[in-house]
Structures are given as C-alpha cells and as structure tokens.
Structure 1
Amino acid sequence: MSNVRPRMTNLFEQLGLDSSDEAIAQFIATHQLPAETKITEAGFWTESQHQLLSEKLKSDGSWAIVVDQLNESLHEDSVKK
C-alpha cells in the first residue's frame, strides 16, 4: 500500500508530469476536453498514463476523487458554453 497522499500534485507526479502549481494550471488550460470525451479517452495521455488514471478511477477511493477533480478541470471550457 502506498503512503502517497491523494493530491493533485501527487497525481501529476505519478503521471510523470511537472507537478508545480504553475505547470498544473498550464496543463489544464492547454488540454481542455470536449464534454463528450472522458478523461481516460483523451488523446494526449500515454498508454501508461491512461492505465494509471483508469485504475485510480476504478479504485473508487481517495484517488478517484482527485482524478475526478482533474476531469472536471479539463472539462471547464465545455461546460461554460
């Protein structure tokens, strides 16, 4: 069992992405998804990133909440319309 706390910065680290606040904000701003695209179906993830996100969502635990928060952030533009 991992002792890594479920937080957005830790999720980005696990995804192999820059986890600074600025980098997370930039990633979200530049990777907005259409409303019909699920976070796990986004074309910008590598296979391992896709698998990690899918596993976190299926766990339905604390990590699923963080992935869902990222999902909501990546769909902000599509719900504004």
Structure 2
Amino acid sequence: MEVFNHNLESLFQQLGLPSDKTSIDDFIGRHALEPGENLTAASFWSTSQKQFLEEAKLQDADWVEQIDILDTLLRKA
C-alpha cells in the first residue's frame, strides 16, 4: 500500500487551482462557507472539483486530512 504525504498545496494542485502560498491565502480570503454549509455544496467549486472532494471523502482517501483543513480554513470565525 502506498502512503502519500499530501499537503494543502498538493490539494490545490489536484483541484486545478494555483497552489502557491499567496494564491491559497487569496482563495481562502475570497471564499467562505456559511454556517452548516457542506464544503462540497459551496457554489465556488466546479463540477469536477465537487466530484473530487465528494469521492475523496466517501472513500476516506489520503486527501481527507487536507480537505478537512481546507474546510476549517473556509469557516470564518
């Protein structure tokens, strides 16, 4: 079994988004989840991005930890 060490940058790459720190910070600054909103239901994802996030969560894939971190970062306090 292969074990992958994913990080937020590689998750953004997988989603087809710019993955440098400035771009990630900008994305998080421009997008937010509403209270109780599911990450995959957010309107800012493309269909393929939503599909990737949903499948990764359902399969408990290696990406889950980074997806959870992104979810937390998109919930503004």
Instruction: State the TM-score, normalizing by the size of structure 2.
Output: 0.88
Look up the equivalent residue of 1:16 and give its one-letter code. Answer: G
* Number of aligned residue pairs: 77
State the partner residue of 1:36.
36
Paired residue for 1:55? 55
Change (3 A) 1:21 1:71: same
Identity %: 35
Q: CA deviation at 1:2?
A: 7.5
Listed as ranges, the gaps of 5+ residues in structure 1 are none
Gaps of 5+ in 2: none
CA shift at 1:61, angstroms? 3.9
Question: Letter of the aligned partner of 1:5 in structure 2?
Answer: N
| CA contact 1:28–1:73 (8 Å) conserved in 2 | yes
- In structure 2, C-alpha distance between the alignment counterparts of 1:36 and 1:48, rounded to whole Å: 22
Higher mean C-alpha deviation, range 53-62 or range 25-34: 53-62
| Larger helix fraction of residues | 1
Corresponding residue for 1:15?
15
Runs of 4+ that moved beyond 4 A: 1-4
TM-score normalized by the length of structure 1: 0.84
